[in-house]
Every structure is written in structure tokens, then in C-alpha cells.
Amino acid sequence: MNKQEKIERIKELTALLNYHSRKYYTEDSPEISDYEYDMLSRELVSLEEEIPEARQPDSPTHRVGGEVLKGFSQVTHTVPLESLQDAFSFDEIRAFDNRVKQAFPNAEYVVELKIDGLSVALEYENGLFIRGATRGDGTVGEDITANLRTVKSIPLSLPEGCPSRLIVRGEVYMPKKTFAKLNETREDNGESLFANPRNAAAGSLRQLDSKVTASRMLDIIVFNLQSVEGAEFSTHAETLDFIKKMGFPVSPYYTVFNNIEDVISEISRLGEMRSSYAFDIDGAVVKVNSLAMRSELGSTAKAPKWAVAFKYPPEEKETMLEDIQINVGRTGVLTPLAKLTPVLLAGSTVARATLHNKMFIAEKDIRIGDIVKVRKAGDIIPEIVSVVKEKRNEGTVEFRMPEVCPVCGSKVVSDEDTPMVRCINSECPAQLTRSIIHFVSRDAMDIEGFGEQNVERFVNEGLITSAADLYKLDYGVISQMEGFGAVSADNLRNAVEKSKNANLDRVIYALGIRQVGQKTGSILAARFGTMKSFSEASEEELTAIDEIGPVTAHYICEFFANPHNISLIEGLGSAGVNMTYRSDKVSDIFAGMTFVLTGTLESFTRDEASAMITKRGGKVSSSVSKKTTYVLAGSEAGSKLTKAQTLGVNIINEEEFLGMVGGDA
């Protein structure tokens, strides 16, 4: 293909992938396989890398994240994002109905699920997603556009015939299965757990590194039309139909009723189905359907008078704690698990619950043989709420953490800085399996074909005793194993070979050093350049890096003091795994400079301009201050341009910026 044909192909692929994303994430009716989607996506990435200026504003490649912010700028909402008055009984729902019917005897209501997540506003101009913000105090929120772009169910562009301007409100949430998996990983790593999906979603959306947000697999339900230009509606139900037509996911249930007893029956029905939803809910919302009636009813200082949220009480059951067992995680953390007398809770039978750590057990005075109250965090993860002390019988047994690892028999030690107890044997079989699962994961070495089951199988059959063994596999033997064949074995070989070219930051993250995540891995790789220099760094050298604290520095040095880990790194290097950081930096012409981008740029996107700056040693900030070196202003620049003028910051246009970049643009 010539250049023009490639540009047309980029446009075609962008539209095609957005279409299939909508079919998959919004309409739940995929038309192609995941593999076919991935192949189209890879083709688009390749073409965009070749011709970056042809990248479309709504390209799905925006969703992978990568923009790192120093903070979030403020956004004043065009339409306030009000909160709702709560009701905890059906009598309160009837009282709400009486107040509405005094003004409008024929009022109808729409009943929807109340998703337990983080409320956001999404703004579109001429069909393109331009900004997303948190609710904040209802009047002013935070600009989290870069993070919201990573939520795959949020359309980056709207279909033909869309309004010229549109603002919708939705609830970003973490699916229950994602929440369970995330907490499982955090527990294995000895990290604090998220209390519930809402807590996890809020923490994920407010990450300064959008790659972290992208990895959390968030989703959204859009529930309100805040503002629209070029369309008119008379009822809330009509707006929901319209929002759905525009490609937004909406509540799977929204029904119109004219009788409050039918509303109450629907609230009860939705509550009984709580366990079947992919997301966590904390209630049902009742809204007046007529938009004209809403306008007449108005709002109090805090909430609209035309809506009310019925809050479901959390379901709790009593059962006996029969025993406490120990699970050993990837970093050697010993996690106590409660074995319970099976009890039906929130739609499923619960027989186990996490007890987190020894401090959790001590604070709640949990003993073997106790009657305990159990509920599900996020309607999915069983947890012990409390001990029913009045039902405690004689003969209950106080729990003590073991002094040796239950898997390998090695000595265990208590962390000085956390309530964790861990096995110090790095060759412990339990740690080996989980560490290799981490090593091959997508964010680490990204070795396709090595799911958890295959890792466990290869470890159990003695094919892998360390991550370095991944590069010594006998594919002839593998091709003869049940479930494999010549093609599968060859695909696995190719994936393993490909991983050898991973950049050093991925290799560092894959090692599984405590408190060294993806971002820290990137910082360390860029700072030290080679695995050898990194492995020989002292705690003083490490703590001299702004982002590295003394605890992390200690863990890094502790890791490299272990001969087993040094042997692992030597094995990886001998196998041909890359041990050098490949920087995309092209010069230092912007070293020490901070840029702020504002307005619409014609020659390149903001992402491309940001990349041009950082590759030349500069920094990009989201807000203007006296420390800002330059403001790069495009057309329709707003408040940032005004502030720059007030502060006397240098303002440049695209032509001047390209002149500064020079011949290496």
C-alpha cells in the first residue's frame, strides 16, 4: 500500500474496531472472535506507528493508557451532578409518591438499578469524546479524560446523526469478577485489599498513570442525559432509549410505572436478583418520568425532588467457623482462610472466607468454633463481619499463625512494617507457581498461551522450576502432551521467543520484587539502564530517586542479596532475554522545560505532541503555573491560555513548536 492507501486503511480500521467494540461491550452481541479483533487491532497499531499523524481522534488505541499526569485539573460542570435523597423503607417510597402526586396526580415513574461506582460526566462535541470528569462536589469535579478513555464501553465517537453537543452522566464500576481477581493478586503480593468494587473503581479512576487504569478493566452504565443540543425529549425513558442508540451502555432494566405499589414490587424484584448482576448495586432509583414535571418539581439544596434512591440492606448470615487454613501467595505471604459450615448467601453457597492477616483475626477476636456473621463484599467475596459473642461456646480455639510454611516447612517471619507473615524460602513450590503466573502475565513478559492452568501443569510435571526454565522448554515433549499438538507447541515457542525482546522495565516488573510495580519498573529501568547496574545499586542510590522510598529500596536490595534470584537473572540473560533499557528519547533539547497543551492542534494530536516533548527530555503538565515554560496553544484554547497570559508564561503556536523541535520532528 502507498501512504494514502495506508491512511484510508487507518480510518477504515478505526471505524471497524469501534463498531465491533460497541457490539461486544455495549450490545453484548459480538460478530467476530477475540482473535480476529486482536489481529485488526495489531494492524491498526502498526499503521499508526508508521504514520502517527494519521491517527484518528477516536482511535481505539487510545484505550491502552499511557498518559501520566502530575495532578487533575478542575472542571466546572455545565449541569450540576446532584446527589439523591435516600429511602430505607417502602413507607419512605410511598411518602415520596405522595409528595409528587400532590403536584402531579398522573405522574409516572422509571425504576432503575443504582450502580455502586463512581459518578462521572462525559462530554461530546461533534460526535467526539472531548472530556470526562468526576462528580466532585456536584458543581466542580476533576478532569480524568485520559483515564476514562481506557474504559472500553465508553464510545470515543458517536454514530452519524448525533447531536452537535452532548453531556451524559454515568457510573463507572469495577465488575465483580475483576474485583475478585484484583484483590486476589493484591493479597498474593502482600498489598492492602480494596474493601469493595466501588472503592476499587474510585481508586482506579484517580490514578495519575492511565496505564494502571487501563489494566483494571473498568466498565460504565450511563443513566442520565445532562445536556443536549439538536434534540428534544419529553420523558426520561425516551432519553435512555436515545442514550442507548448513541452507543452507551445503560441499565439492563428500566421500566415505566404509574402505580407506586408496582414500583415497590419492581424494587423488590431487582433486589432479589442482586447476585446475578455483573456489577455491584446498593439500591434502586425511582425517577419521575416526565421531564416537564421534573422541571416544575425542582431540587433542594442537595438533591432533586423528582427522584429517590431505595437502599438495600446488606445480606448477612450466621454460620460456624470450623477451621482456619493457610494459603501461601506469590511473595510468600501466608493468608489465613476461614473454613465455614456452608451457608447460602447472596445467591450462592459460601464455605470459605478470607481472614486477611493475624491482626484482622486479633482485632475481631475470631476463634475456631465461633459463630460468625458473614456477608459478601461487593456481593462476591465472602468476608467475616463479626463474631456472635453471645453464642460463643466453651472449647473455641484461639488461632496462632504457624512458625513454619505449611507448603515447604521453611521458617516464616513477620514483616516489621505490615501485619503480614511470610515464608522466606524463595524456592517454595507455592511461591514458584504464582511467581511464574506473574512473570508470564500480560503486563510483565506477556507470553501468550501460558494461562494459570498451563503454568500449574508445567510446574507440577517438573518442566519448570524457575522462570528461566521457560526458555529451556522441550517443545517436542510438549507437543505430545494431552491438550497440545505441534501447532500449539509451536505457538508457545513463538510467544516465548518473542518475550525475549521485552524492554528492561517489563523484565524488572516480571521479577516480582515487592513494591516494584509497572511504573516503578519503568523508573528503575530508565535510571540504571541495565539489569547489572540495577542489581548492584545500593539502598542509598535507590532512595536518591524521588519516586523510590526506603522500604522499596530495602526490598530491592533484599531481592538481589538472595543467590537464587541472582541465579534466575543469570539464567534469563543466558537464554537471550533482553537486559538493557531501550529508551525512545531522541534528544535533550527540552530538558528542564515544562509544557502545557491547550486547544485543538491541527498538525498532530495532543498525545503526539506530548510524546514529542517527553522524547526530547521535557515534561508535560495538565495545569499552568509560574513554573510552566511554554503553553502550546491551538485553536479554541480556553482557560489555560487565559491563565498563561495572566502569569506571563510564554505562549507558542504549532509552527513555533515545530521550529523548536527542528529537524528531528
CA distance linking residue 562 with residue 603, whole number of Å: 52
DSSP assignments along 108-131, one per residue: -EEEEEEE-SEEEEEEEETTEEEE
Give the H or E element holding residue 650: strand 650-652
CB 560 within 8 A of CB 483: no
Q: What angle do CA 297, 298, 303 make, to 5 degrees?
A: 115
* Exposure letters 402-419 (e unless 16+ CB within 10 A, then b): eeebebbeeebeeeeeeb
Separation of first and last alpha carbons in the chain: 24
Nearest to 89 by CA among 253, 267, 259: 267
197-205 helix and 176-188 helix, angle to the nearest 10 degrees: 80
CA distance 237 to 233: 9
Q: Which three cell numbers stand for residue 572?
A: 534469563
Of the CA atoms within 13 Å of residue 542, those in its CB half-sphere come to 23
CA distance 69 to 165: 27
C-alpha closest to that of 62 among 148, 177, 140: 148
Q: What ranges in 544-633 are assigned the alpha helix state H?
A: 550-560, 563-574, 606-614
- The C-alpha cell at 215 is 489494566
And the C-alpha cell for 478? 510438549
Could you tell me the three cell numbers for 465? Answer: 522450576
Cβ atoms of 208 and 158 closer than 8 Å: no
Catalytic residue check, 6: no
Backbone angles phi, psi at 102, to 5 degrees: -65, -35
d(C-alpha 154, C-alpha 164), whole Å: 18
3-state secondary structure of 199: helix
Question: Rounded to the nearest 5 degrees, what angle is found at the Cα of 428, between the Cα atoms of 425 and 432?
Answer: 120
Measured CA to CA, the distance from residue 468 to residue 74 in angstroms comes to 48
375 — phi, psi (to 5°)?
Answer: -140, 175
Write down the catalytic residue from 114, 152, 619, 640: 114
Residues 6+ apart with CB under 8 A from 642: none
Burial of 439 (0-12, 13-18, 19+ CB in 10 A): buried
Distance separating alpha carbons of residues 504 and 521, to the nearest angstrom: 8
Length of the chain: 665
Q: CA-to-CA distance for 560 and 527, rounded, in angstroms?
A: 17
CA distance 366 to 372: 8
CA angle 89, 90, 96 (to 5 degrees): 100
Nearest to 125 by CA among 636, 534, 659: 636
Amino acid at 418: T
Instruction: Collect all residues with Cβ–Cβ distance below 8 Å to 38 and sequence separation of at least 6.
Output: none
- Distance between CA 60 and CA 63 in Å, rounded? 6
Cα diameter, the chain:
83
Amino acid at 644: A
Number of Cβ atoms within 10 Å of the Cβ of 91: 10
> Catalytic residue numbers?
114
